[in-house]
Structure formats: structure tokens, C-alpha cells
Amino acid sequence: MLRIKRVPTVVSNYQKEEAEDVARRGGGCGRNCLNKCCIQGAKLPLYAFKKLNKIASDKGLAGHESGKPPVAFLDSLLLGEWEDRMQRGLFRYDVTACETKVIPGNYGFIAQLNEGRHLKKRPTEFRVDKVLQPFDGNKFNFTKVGQEEVLFQLEASDDGEVQFFPNAPVDVENSPSVVAINVSPIEYGHVLLIPRVLECLPQRIDHDSFLLALHMAAEAGNPYFRLGFNSLGAFATINHLHFQAYYLAVSFPIEKAPTEKITTLDGGVKISKLLNYPVRGLVFEGGYTVEDLSNTVSDACICLQANNIPYNVLIADCGRRVFLLPQCYAEKQALGEVSAELLDTQVNPAVWEISGHMVLKRKKDYEEASEENAWRLLAEVSLSEARFEEVYALIFEAIVCVDNGKGDASESSLEEPDVNPQPLEEVDAINNNSRHNMVTGTQECIVMH
């Protein structure tokens, strides 16, 4: 059994020891939280998106063909409400004051000095050898978040049209999905998407939750707004289902990395692998419908979960492109295979770091940041080439089986490789402070080696 001490970042102002969470008599617990003690009769803004079948070409998954939506999802609702919470002092520090720079080199890794992010944490012990772990209501979870930290509820529209209700009742019986602030933000607009929050789902991807995440990326309609997911064992710190998201007006290095096509599935989803990048991973894009892409990626994630393989996911390009990155850094840590030099940085390489946004906690590391140092850290995250091929074989078999046997692995592998290097873009935008442009269940599994 491998165990490693975790010091998770505080994501809510109500993330306290269980002893401090004892409810008071009458009137709920006094914290106006999302739990049953306070949620009855509560009202929160509700954004109902139009659930489309086909993927729009250049506008993400949502087209809003019938006209403008009732509220600008990204600029007015998400970022506007996020700034409101910042002005109300709900964040633990001002992330907009953190130093940020693009590291010289071919890929343009982004370095941020965020010394406040590791302060005032409480120690927690997480198992790193179990991707699937049961939800534990005694530990911090998002039902303990204060209602003032919630920006809005998010769901598909009943009548097929985008709707916004500024003061909608919370449907406790149907467990709403909510978007809440991360009080220890990495970047501007850093939020948490918490699917079906009251169901208390553990940190594992399922088909419905991933489809919701794709729709959120589409509603934002901006390639600089990405969503990320960390599994347990890949530096998720809360075992309660959630995605993270934020706005950063620069291309991530992983988005610019060249790819080589492996195959195209019957549903039109193209699967490629990353080339010339320190972390080996798969890229999913296309699909005839939103569900084609969502189901393919979900099936791949479910396969990794079932085989106890930690992974990270990045949703990019307004929901049209998804990066899937199995990793083994925490496993190497537990086995004592990571150098003291890398451990001293206290950097836990989760989805944002793997994508090329290096959140550094020491001024020394920030001042000495280089492409070579970033590459060295991320190379430790990656599976070996042989192990990656084994993992891909598992994923492909799972996808084909779920697809009722459609397609043939051997035939698909014979397609001509499609090497598609993304052009390196100018990355000076980050230095110009782009924010001013804004308009205000457990399964026993075998660990693969």
C-alpha cells in the first residue's frame, strides 16, 4: 500500500476540520452552505444552456443561431460574478497581483509566482495507489461551500433555448450542478464546475458530467477559457466530483505541440498522440455530434479509472479538443524515485502544470524558471513509451467494445499518420495584462507497471 502526505490547497473558505463543521441547533449550521441543513428554500442564479446535437464549426458547441443569449455567459456571468466575489473579499489572495511571465524557448511555458497558494493549508492524507475511492462525507466536500461562493447553477434548457434566471429555486431533489469560485485561484476567473453537487459523487468522470463540462466550454465560446480535470493519484485534492476552469489569454504549450493521427472512429472522433512534448498523451477532436466526442473521451477515462491509472484532462478550443494525459508522478514520489531538487519545488504537476502553466511557490524557482527546468519536471510525470502504448491499447479496446465492436483496431492502425504541427504563436499577450479586455463507488484494480 502506497501512501503519501498531501497538503491540499484550500478551495473554499469553509474547508475546515470536521470538528469545526458541527451544525448548530436551528437555522441550519449558520454558514449558509449547500448542505441539507441550509439548502432548503435557497435561491441561486440559473443558466440553462441550449443542448445542441451537432458541433458548430468555429463557435464551439453552442451557436445561439436564434440570436444573442439573455446574458453573456463568460464575460458578464462567469467573469462578472467572479470579480464581484473578488471585490467582496472572498478570495484568500489577489491572484491578479501574482507575477507571471512567458519562459523563453520554443514552447512558451508560462510561469506564475503564487506564494499565497501554499499558505494556511491543512494536512490530509490521500492514498495515491487508488484512483477510485468512495466518497467520505466526513472529509471536506463541496456541500460545505458557502452559498455566497456559488456563482450560478448550470443545466440544459428544457425548451431548447438559452435561458437565465437570476433568482431560481434550488431543486434539491434533482441535485443541481453549480459553478463556484476557487478561493485559492491560479488565474483570473478560476472556478469549479461541480456536477450534481448534492449527490456527493466521488472524483471520477462519468458520461453525464463530462458532457456538461464540454457544454460549459462551448458556452464560454472563448479558446482562452479551458476546463481541467485531475483524477485521484494525479493531484486531485478533493474526492468530490469537480472540474476546474479559468481564463488565460495565451496559448498553452500543450495546445501548440505537434500531433500524429492514430485513427478516426466511426463516430468521426479523431484520436492523435502528442509529439515532441515532455508528457505523453492522447488528443481527441471532432465527432459528428457533441455526444460522439463526449462519450469517446468518457469511455477512455472510465477505462483508466477501472485500470487504476491516474490521469489528467484538458478541455480546449471551446470544447472541440480534449487532451488525455495518464501520469505517474505521485507513484514515483511514493516510491522515492523523484529527485530532492524537484520535490523541493513543492510543485504538484496536475492538469495546468502539465499543459504548460507552471504555478511556482518559491521566488527562487520563478526567477530561475527555464524551458529546460519545466521540461525536466514534466518528463517525470510522463509514462514511459512502452507503458504508454500498453495504456493506449487498453483505452482503444475499451472504446471499440463500448461502440458495439464497430471498427477494427488493426485496420485503423494502418491509416496514414497525420502529423499536424500547430504553429507557434506569439505569446506576448500575457505580459500585456489581457484582463483589461474583459467586459465586466470503489473497485479493486491492478496497478499497471
The angle at the Cα of 333, spanning 448 to 314, to the nearest 5 degrees, equals 70
- What interhelical angle do 290-306 and 207-220 show, nearest 10? 130
Question: pLDDT class for 124, splitting at 50, 70, 90?
Answer: very low
| Residue with grid cell 488525455, as numbered in its chain | 324
Instruction: Please state the rounded mean pLDDT for residues 375-384.
Output: 97
**CA atoms of 153 and 150, how far apart (whole Å):** 8
Quickly state the pLDDT bin for 316 (edges 50, 70, 90): very high
In this predicted structure, the answer to whether residue 417 has a pLDDT above a threshold of 80 is no
DSSP one-letter code for 429? G
Copy the grid coordinates of residue 204: 471520477
Strand order in the sheet with 259-264: 163-169, 43-49, 150-156, 177-181, 191-194, 243-247, 225-230, 311-316, 321-326, 282-286, 269-274, 259-264
Q: By the 8 A CB rule, do 125 and 3 touch?
A: yes
Q: What is the pLDDT of residues 177-229, one digit of tens each?
A: 999 999 999 999 999 999 999 999 999 999 999 999 999 999 999 999 999 99
Contact 219, 243 (CB under 8 A): no
- What share of the chain has pLDDT > 70, as a percent? 77
Domain limits of the chain? 3-15+38-423
Catalytic site includes residue 242 = yes
Element (H, E) at 264: strand 259-264
Give yes or no for a contact between 302 and 324, defined as CB atoms under 8 angstroms apart. no
Burial (0-12, 13-18, 19+ Cβ within 10 Å), 429 = middle
Mind listing the pLDDT tens digit for each residue in 76-110? Answer: 999 999 999 999 999 999 999 999 999 999 999 99
| pLDDT-derived band at 163, boundaries 50, 70, 90 | very high
- Reported as a single tens digit per residue, the pLDDT across 15-56 is 544 434 443 434 568 889 999 899 999 999 999 999 866 655
Q: Identify the CATH homologous superfamily for domain 3-15+38-423.
A: ATP adenylyltransferase (3.30.428.70)
pLDDT of residue 4: 37
Q: Determine if residue 415 is left, alpha or beta; phi over 0 gives left, psi from -120 to 50 gives alpha, anything else beta.
A: beta
* pLDDT for 389 beyond 70: yes
Catalytic-role residue among 215, 240, 242, 357: 242
At position 264, the amino acid (one-letter code) is T
User: What's the Rg (C-alpha) of the chain?
Assistant: 21
Only one residue has cell 482503444, namely 396
First to last CA, the chain: 15
The least confident of 22-26, 66-70, 253-257, 388-392 is 22-26
Q: Which whole number is the average pLDDT over 359-383? A: 96
Q: What percentage of the chain reaches a pLDDT higher than 90?
A: 72
